[in-house]
Structure 1
């Protein structure tokens, strides 16, 4: 099994990093021989869409004959997703949604004719489904009776990933991190991990 492990937080000891690492550890408990491919968007941020890339995606004609090299980064990132049997993402909720470094990755892997088809009914995914675990850390509270802010992150990611074929998704969150001490944060992380459903990886072809 190959795990693609993505982190987005700029803080080395962030709650989202600790949560994603804990998810990977749980996966390794089930599949100890798994390999891990790593993308750390704080240590190695992706560039935002270049002029050539934007031009290539601007119409079917330019996509059929893109500027030289315009799609190289996109293709490399898509191939990483295709090579993964499981994807683990750790991300903070920044200003109610995903951080820009994560959005830069999304903009490269959503590509018409490559990862999705445009139809009258909307986007149809072209990639094989595989489990995606998304660990979210939020300074505020966005679910339940104590919610004090809206959530544009989980519905957005659900649609975005689903539009390319990644529909087996699990969202795990540690909330109110701005108000938790170390012990409380550990308990919150353990509570989030208790909700993880690892039975989905039984569907992974190589297991």
Structure 2
């Protein structure tokens, strides 16, 4: 059965503007795939703690996957493995990912579990899957109109690529701090999702 994992990374949770259009797209997709399921995670409500010493020592020691310090990491990794599609709605904070999403990455990007080393290079252990990242920013971050750096896009490409997920696409809701363009940007985001291979024909 097809399963979609939807991650909310905004402090506003599912009420954030990026999450709003993500909901619309995911619900439309599910309506056309009634046997499919949607699993949601509000990463702020999850309230992940920074990785602790026991976790680091378990990595260094090569402890088995069922080690107590890997319990939450295993839960999140298995959730990621179980989905056939992944959608992330995230703001851009200080030019990059918000802390809630960074902590989720710290828990799922794990040596010996989601990637290994081969000839000194990191090689992903997960199966590739369609992944759509909906990025909300107050300023303009793409194209000639960009007014601030973007350290989010390539970072996420590198993170998912390290785990074996290369089919990653981005939808940008830019300039959302400007009331005169915010609604137009939201509509442009909906149109972009409508042509996204993950949602095409269902938005």
Q: What's the RMSD between the two structures over aligned residues?
A: 2.1
- Matching residue of 1:7: 8
1:189 pairs with 2:186: yes
**Unaligned stretches of 5+ residues in structure 1:** 203-207
Moved more, 34-43 or 101-110: 34-43
- Matching residue of 2:176: 177
Question: C-alpha distance in 2, partners of 1:201/1:191?
Answer: 15
- Matching residue of 1:158: 157
- Deviation of 1:136 after TM superposition, in Å, equals 0.5
Does the C-alpha gap of structure 1 residues 25 and 189 become closer, same or farther in structure 2, counting only changes over 3 Å? farther
Asked if the contact 2:65/2:74 (under 8 Å) is kept, the reply is: no
Asked if the contact 2:175/2:185 (under 8 Å) is kept, the reply is: no
Match of 2:27 among 18, 25, 28: 25
Runs of 4+ in 1 over 3 A off after TM superposition: 64-68, 196-202
Q: Alpha-carbon deviations, 1:163-198, whole Å to 9, x = none?
A: 1011111100100111125xx433312212322344
Does the C-alpha gap of structure 1 residues 27 and 142 become closer, same or farther in structure 2, counting only changes over 3 Å? same
- Deviation of 1:24 after TM superposition, in Å, equals 1.4
Question: C-alpha distance in 2, partners of 1:106/1:37?
Answer: 18
Report 1:1-207 matches (<5 A): 1-12=2-13, 13-57=15-59, 59=60, 62-64=61-63, 68-120=67-119, 122-180=121-179, 184-196=181-193, 197-199=195-197
**Unaligned stretches of 5+ residues in structure 2:** none
Aligned residues: 197
